[in-house]
Amino acid sequence: MLSNMQPCEKRHTSFEDIVRILYGRKWLIIGLPLILSAMFAFVLIDMPNRYKSNATLVSAAASNSKVSGQLGSLAALAGVNLGGLAGNDKTDYAIEVIVSREFIESFIKKRDLLIPLMATESVDLQTGQLILNPEIYDEKNKKWVREVSFPYTPEPSTQEAHKAFLASFSISKDKVKNTVYISFEHYSPDFSKNVTNWIVEDINDHIRQSDIRDAQNSIQFLNKEADVATIAEIRNVVYALLEEQLKTLMVANVRHEYVFKFIDRAVSPQEKSGPKRALILIMFYLFLLFLTSIYVMISYRIKSLSLGKQL
């Protein structure tokens, strides 16, 4: 009677038991993950390298005082006061515009980036030629051929392109130094460099042109108001508003690095940014080691329960 109860009494497994069980199956626990990791290593070798290009920027508003000094004589003759111009920092606004869907969409279209962004699978580093995935884009017939289900279409939508761009793009600001860091990662080092520099040039031009249009429209409106104003106080207010618009218009026409000024332009990186094959392989091996250990413990538990029922 007592012997029949013994297998049922021992229902917990101590730490020493776990070590003993795992040690007894050590060749399986160590060997199987090693074999699978070796096979996975061949997959990692075939993965193409990615390259990240970085640029360092500073707010162009910091150089406004220099521009103001250059324009000071002309402004004084025109009766325009350039004081306060140096405080017109648009970096936070520009950062939000850069990552917006509307700006990225126009940027991709203007620079013709859709195919290299969405269809590239590797690059020939000797020639710089992008190698496109034939299952996504038929280069010979200039046609998108990827197989997707509704609501997606063979040609990637602007929403897909925006998402894919942001997955490779990074922008951040050091609020203490007022420095902006921007980067783009791609299979091609030259492409990553070009995109990083282009996006800075385009955001500067985008906001500059927007401010020019707004200032010109405002000046045109205020000039009409000044012509019809009969009260001196109203004319003074109109002229003060005209002064502010003239400030914007002069600086926008003089300075092309309107929002961001390069401290360090992006260059074609010589070293890859990814994939980190050694780290991936180690993490994969440790994961398999864990799974194999769990498998051994579960197998032992199932076998113990089966023997207990038989007894």
Per-residue pLDDT reduced to its tens digit, 164-181: 999 999 999 998 888 999
Domain boundaries, given as residue ranges, for the chain: 17-47+276-310, 51-264
- Distance between CA atoms of 20 and 60, rounded to whole angstroms? 67
Q: What is the pLDDT of residues 69-105, one digit of tens each?
A: 444 444 444 444 444 444 467 899 999 999 999 999 9
Q: Are strands 137-138 and 129-132 parallel, antiparallel or unpaired?
A: unpaired
Could you tell me how far CA 231 lies from the centroid of its own chain? 54
Mean predicted lDDT score pLDDT of the chain: 84
- Do the Cβ atoms of 25 and 294 come closer than 8 Å? no
Within 8 A by CB and 6+ apart from 46, the residues are none
Radius of gyration of the chain (CA): 32
**Segment 131-158 mean pLDDT:** 94
- Distance between CA atoms of 273 and 258, rounded to whole angstroms? 31
Helices (H), 172-258: 189-228, 232-254
b/e 163-198 (16+ beta carbons within 10 angstroms → b): ebbeebbebebeeeeeebebbbbbbbbbbbbbbbbb
* pLDDT value, residue 309: 56
- Report the SS3 class of residue 155: coil
Q: Which CATH number fits domain 51-264: 3.90.550, 3.30.43, 3.30.1890, 3.40.630?
A: 3.30.1890
Q: Which of the given ranges, 41-50, 53-62, 158-167, has the highest pLDDT on average?
A: 158-167
Q: How many distinct helices (H) and strands (E) make up the chain?
A: 11, 8
- Distance between CA atoms of 80 and 75, rounded to whole angstroms? 5
* pLDDT value, residue 271: 93
Name the pLDDT band for 62 (thresholds 50, 70, 90): low
* pLDDT value, residue 44: 87
Q: Name the residue among 173, 175, 208, 191 with its Cα closest to residue 266.
A: 191
* pLDDT value, residue 84: 40
Q: Are strands 120-124 and 260-264 parallel, antiparallel or unpaired?
A: unpaired
